[in-house]
Amino acid sequence: MSSISVPPPKCLQKPLAVPHRHMFGPGPSNVPPRILDAGASPVIGHMHPEIFEIMNDIKSGIQYMFQTRNSMTLAVSGTGHTAMECAIFNAVEAGDSVLAAVNGIWGERAAEMAERIGARVNTIVAPPGGFFTNAELEQALSKHKPVLFFLAHGESSTGVLHPLDGIGQLCHKYNCLFLVDSVASMGGTPLYMDQQGIDILYTGSQKVLNAPPGTAPISFSERACQKIFNRRTKPVSFFLDLSWLANYWGCDGKPSRVYHHTGPVTAFYSLRESLAVLVEEGLEKSWERHEKVAEYFHAGLESMGLKLFVKEKKARLPTVTTIVAPHGYDWKEITIYIMKTHNLEISGGLGPSVGLVLRVGLMGCNSSKANVDMVLAALKDALKHCHKSKV
Same domain for 256 and 125? Answer: yes
**209 and 358 inside one domain:** no
Q: Which among 217, 250, 279 is the end of a domain?
A: 279
Is there a single domain that holds both residue 228 and residue 292?
no
- pLDDT tens-place string over residues 211-270: 999 999 999 999 999 999 999 999 999 999 999 999 999 999 999 999 999 999 999 999
At residue 347, the pLDDT reads 97
pTM above 0.85, yes or no: yes
Q: Among 279, 302, 328, where does a domain finish?
A: 279
Q: How confident is the model at residue 390 (pLDDT cuts 50, 70, 90)?
A: confident
How many structural domains compose the chain?
2
| 159 C-beta neighbours (distance < 10 Å), count | 30
Percent of the chain with pLDDT over 70: 99
128 domain-assigned: yes
Binding-site sequence positions for substrate: 359
Are both 303 and 182 inside the same structural domain? no
What are the helix (H) ranges across the chain? Answer: 33-39, 49-66, 80-91, 105-116, 134-144, 167-173, 222-228, 242-248, 265-281, 283-303, 331-342, 369-385
- pLDDT tens, residue by residue, 160-217: 999 999 999 999 999 999 999 999 999 999 999 999 999 999 999 999 999 999 999 9
Give Cα 167 to chain centroid, integer Å. Answer: 20
- Together in a domain, 181 and 55: yes
8 lies in a domain? no
296 in the same domain as 170:
no
Distant-in-sequence, close-in-space partners of 253: CB < 8 Å, separation ≥ 6: 71
Kindly state the average pLDDT of the residues 352-360: 95
Same-domain pairing of 153 and 286: no
90 in the same domain as 119: yes
The mean pLDDT value for 293-304 works out to: 98
Per-residue pLDDT band at 301 (split at 50, 70, 90): very high
Whether the predicted pLDDT of 389 surpasses 90 = no
Q: Is the domain of 258 the same as that of 290? A: no
Give me the CATH number covering residue 238: 3.40.640.10
List binding-site positions. Answer: 359
What's the domain range around 138?
Answer: 33-279
Residues 186 and 328 placed together within one structural domain of the fold? no
Q: 10-54, pLDDT tens digit by residue? A: 999 999 999 999 999 999 999 999 999 999 999 999 999 999 999
Average of per-residue pLDDT values in the chain: 97
pLDDT mean over 292-302: 98
Q: What is the mean pLDDT of residues 135-153?
A: 98
Q: CATH number for the domain including 325?
A: 3.90.1150.10
124 with 248, same domain?
yes
The DSSP symbol for 7 reads P
User: Is residue 391's pLDDT more than 70?
Assistant: no
- Amino acid at the residue 198: I
So what's the pLDDT on residue 186?
98
